[in-house]
Amino acid sequence: MKTYTENAFHRLLLVVMSPREQAMSDAEIEQWIIQLPEIKELSIDMMRRAVFGSFPAKLSRRHLTQLRKECTLMLDTLYRYPASAGRMQEFSQMVSNCLLQILEFQELHYAENLDGNITMPIVLFNKAAQKVEEKTVLLVTAMSRYNVDKQLQAIVVTKMTGLLKRGSGSWHQIRYLEKLQVGITGLCVGLVANITEQLRSLLLRRNFNTLGFITYCKSRIEEEMAEKYKIDEQYDCLYHYLLEFNCLSSGHKLDRYDPSQASLKPVLLQYVKSLLNIANKRNLVVTQNKAANPGVVTPYRLPMSISVDALAYLIKLLVMTNVITAVKADLLLFISRNFKTPGVGDADLSLKSLDNKYRQVVKNTSIAVRSILMKMLKQLDNEFG
């Protein structure tokens, strides 16, 4: 049920001030100017009674939310009306200010009772969105100076730009981005360093539950897992993330970026648990194989006449040309256990050394491998040329 205040604004905005109606006379304008302070005070009184009266909390929130929606509707209606001039222009501004003051009073005193998912009035959204976008420019400079990962920067920045072009948004969305910008600015202080990890942690705590950030977190885990060659190292990695995500708070839906989507905590926990489940199954197969073959001796290692450097680069070329399609971690672990290079003896090749040589190839190694490949081509020509 609409209150007197809401009905008064409806009549004023949708009937009296409508461009389809006859223009208001100076006398009518003066009469409404006298009524505006009374209408505002009645609105404020209604809010007080709704909150501090005998109404149930649910009904109080409903009253406040309805008033917020009505004020937004009236402001948007006034915003879309053709520009007026003279006394009418002054009066339109007075009406707009009255509605804005009611919303400001609500936001200042009863914010916890309001639904943040309601769309902001266009005039307020445009003003807030412009500030967010202007600050984003400075924020990008600061994040770049503090060496934030470019991909993570893009994930954050895309949510802070294009707001004005979008034209509308909720109170929650704007407030969330404003607070997030303050948080990120707080990281970009002191000695210049790489704050990618601090920013990732901040986004986790702020429940930045966008698809881009979720994908980023999953990719980070996958990349770290790819560098772990032993099963115990993989378990340590996964349990580290399991502990980190368990410590997150799911919180209220309005504490996350997108209230309509799941919180980060359950999504990321489910992902890590699925990886642990896969690791458990792999480990079980290995354990069962060992139990079924208790008398297996040290495996045969294929002797190579080339150095570890050349072997690592040769394998890398096979991977890059899709001859080998194995996962890097599994591949290097297999090579370390099943290949033997000069001077190593019967011990496994060092995984750390193998990984370093795989990633960082020097020119002398490339020359050696090129020589091997040339010999192969010559042999092929001899046999089939």
Complete DSSP assignment for 271-327: HHHHHHHHHHHHHHHHHHHHHH-TT--SPP-EE-SS-HHHHHHHHHHHHHTTS--S-
pLDDT of 303 > 90? The answer is no
Q: SS in 3 state form for 218-251? A: HHHHHHHHHCCCCHHHHHHHHHHHHHHHHCCCCC
CB distance 264 to 208 below 8 Å: yes
Instruction: Out of 4-13, 20-29, 267-276, pick the least confident.
Output: 4-13
Domain assignment of residue 294, yes or no: no
Tell whether 88 and 157 lie within a shared domain. no
Tell whether 16 and 104 lie within a shared domain. yes
CB distance 306 to 314 below 8 Å: yes
| 170 SS3 class | strand
Given 115, 135, 155, which residue is the final one in a domain? 115
Given 115, 135, 166, which residue is the final one in a domain? 115
Tell whether 271 and 320 lie within a shared domain. no
Number of domains in the chain: 3
Instruction: Out of 91-100, 194-203, 222-231, 258-267, pick the least confident.
Output: 222-231
Return the higher-pLDDT residue of 191 and 198. 198
Q: Closest Cα partner for 214 from 268, 164, 157?
A: 268
In this prediction, what percent of the chain has a pLDDT beyond 70? 93
Q: What is the mean pLDDT of residues 195-219?
A: 95
In DSSP terms, 339 is beta-bridged to: 302
pLDDT of 50 > 90? The answer is no
pLDDT of residue 20: 84
pLDDT of residue 140: 95
Domain assignment of residue 319, yes or no: yes
Q: Classify residue 217 as exposed, middle or buried by CB count within 10 Å of its CB (0-12, 13-18, 19+).
A: buried
Structure tokens at 279: 């690791």
Domain assignment of residue 264, yes or no: yes
pLDDT of residue 2: 54
Q: What is the mean pLDDT of residues 11-20?
A: 85
On average, the pLDDT of the chain sits at 87
Domain assignment of residue 267, yes or no: yes
pLDDT of 161 > 50? The answer is yes
Amino acid letter, 8:
A
Q: Which of 183-187, 249-253, 360-364 has the highest mean pLDDT?
A: 183-187
CB atoms within 10 A of CB 375: 10
Domain that holds residue 359: 302-384
CB atoms within 10 A of CB 312: 26
Tell whether 258 and 310 lie within a shared domain. no
Return phi, psi of residue 106, to 5°: -60, -50
Q: Quote the CA–CA distance of 172 and 367 in Å, as a whole number.
A: 60
Longest dimension (CA), the chain: 107
Domain assignment of residue 90, yes or no: yes
Return the higher-pLDDT residue of 384 and 146. 146
Domain assignment of residue 156, yes or no: yes
pLDDT of residue 158: 94
Return the higher-pLDDT residue of 336 and 208. 208
pLDDT of 245 > 90? The answer is yes
Tell whether 311 and 233 lie within a shared domain. no
Q: What is the mean pLDDT of residues 230-255?
A: 86
pLDDT of residue 1: 42
Structure tokens at 200: 């990732």
Banded model confidence at residue 9, pLDDT cuts 50, 70, 90? confident
pLDDT of residue 264: 94
Tell whether 162 and 18 lie within a shared domain. no
Tell whether 184 and 256 lie within a shared domain. yes
Q: Where are the alpha helices (DSSP H) in the chain?
A: 4-10, 26-52, 57-80, 86-109, 122-145, 150-157, 163-166, 171-187, 196-205, 211-226, 231-246, 264-292, 308-320, 328-338, 351-359, 363-384
pTM (2 d.p.): 0.73
Amino acid letter, 378:
K
Tell whether 85 and 200 lie within a shared domain. no
Q: Quote the CA–CA distance of 221 and 226 in Å, as a whole number.
A: 9
pLDDT of 55 > 80? The answer is no
pLDDT of residue 153: 96
Tell whether 58 and 148 lie within a shared domain. no
Tell whether 128 and 277 lie within a shared domain. yes
Given 115, 135, 152, which residue is the final one in a domain? 115
Tell whether 178 and 51 lie within a shared domain. no
Q: What is the mean pLDDT of residues 89-113?
A: 91
Domain assignment of residue 295, yes or no: no
Task: Tell the residue number behind the tokens 């109080």, with chain if given.
Answer: 60
Tell whether 221 and 275 lie within a shared domain. yes
Task: Tell the residue number behind the tokens 């007075």, with chain if given.
Answer: 94
Domain assignment of residue 290, yes or no: no
- The alpha carbon of 357 is separated from its chain's Cα centroid by a whole number of angstroms, namely 35
Q: What is the pLDDT of residues 338-377, one digit of tens each?
A: 888 887 666 777 888 888 888 889 999 999 999 999 999 9
